[in-house]
């Protein structure tokens, strides 16, 4: 009986967790695009909008290849998830947000956002720079970790995680490159965007209960064997 209860609890957790872990962002690694080289982002990346001004979709190896808006190198050919990535000028005079509308949300539920960011400075410019992403989901905004680079410096890829609470069943997720100083120019990179629901506390409690029942059953069997012996 104990084993059956434990199994039921664990299976319930697994089912719930698998449902909550469903990926909500479409084309989060920017692989579906009409671009065949580093090109302006706007109207070239499936499921994403925005990205006018100096926001580009960068193909592998194109970040420091000497073409327009290249950064000082050597810069990693790809991000940790591989393939294409976003390359954007963080000068507010030239930055433009990219966005995607996320549906299927539950009001009041917590969602975990993760992505990779990197940074650099446009080739040929001088002076130190800072780079980061301004992330907005619905009515909430958070800032990614700040890169502080020397002249010509390279900020290697790093993973970022954030949590947001949904206030509507459909919300806009947007990323805006922010950097200093104006005219440097500071360049931010983005890839591997993922958004999933965070399992509710009750779900985790059910999992712990299930494992507790398994442990209790194992101890009971051990005592039973010892008594027989």
Determine the pLDDT at residue 35. 97
Q: Give pLDDT tens digits along the chain (229 positions).
A: 544 444 344 434 444 444 447 999 999 999 999 999 999 999 999 999 999 999 999 999 999 999 999 999 999 999 999 999 999 999 999 999 999 999 999 999 999 999 999 999 999 999 999 999 999 999 999 999 999 999 999 999 999 999 999 999 999 999 999 999 999 999 999 999 999 999 975 443 344 444 454 454 555 555 555 555 5
Domain ranges of the chain: 1-21+201-222, 23-198
Q: In CATH terms, is domain 23-198 a member of 2.60.120.260?
A: yes
Helices and strands of the chain, counted as H and E runs: 2, 12
Q: What is the pTM of this model?
A: 0.82
Q: Residue 222 in contact with residue 216, Cβ under 8 Å?
A: no
Determine the pLDDT at residue 21. 76
Determine the pLDDT at residue 226. 52
Phi, psi of 218 (to 5 degrees): -65, -40
Q: How many Cβ atoms sit within 10 Å of the Cβ of residue 131?
A: 30
Residues 6+ apart with CB under 8 A from 214: 2, 3, 6, 10
Whose tokens are 């509507």? That residue is 168
Whose tokens are 């805006």? That residue is 176
Phi, psi of 118 (to 5 degrees): -145, 175
Q: Is 24 helix (H, G, I), strand (E, B) or coil?
A: coil
């Amino acid at each position: 009986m104990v084993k059956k209860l434990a199994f039921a609890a664990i299976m319930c957790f697994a089912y719930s967790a698998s449902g909550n872990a469903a990926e909500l962002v479409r084309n989060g690694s920017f692989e579906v695009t009409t671009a065949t080289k580093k090109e302006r982002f706007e109207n070239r990346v499936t499921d994403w909008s925005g990205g006018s001004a100096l926001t580009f979709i960068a193909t592998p190896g194109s970040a420091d290849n000497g073409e327009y808006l290249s950064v000082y190198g050597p810069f990693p050919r790809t991000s940790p998830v591989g393939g294409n990535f976003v390359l954007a000028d963080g000068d507010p005079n030239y930055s433009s947000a990219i966005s995607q509308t996320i549906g299927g949300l539950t009001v009041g539920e917590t969602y975990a956002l993760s992505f990779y960011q990197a940074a650099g400075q446009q080739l040929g410019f001088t002076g130190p720079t800072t780079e980061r992403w301004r992330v907005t989901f619905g009515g909430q905004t958070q800032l990614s970790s700040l890169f502080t680079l020397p002249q010509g410096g390279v900020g290697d890829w790093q993973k970022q995680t954030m949590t947001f609470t949904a206030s509507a069943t459909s919300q806009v997720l947007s990323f805006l490159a922010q950097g200093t100083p104006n005219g440097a120019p500071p360049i931010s990179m983005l890839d591997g965007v993922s958004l999933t629901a965070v399992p509710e506390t009750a779900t985790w409690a059910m999992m712990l209960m299930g494992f507790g029942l398994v442990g209790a059953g194992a101890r009971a069997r051990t005592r039973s064997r010892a008594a027989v012996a």
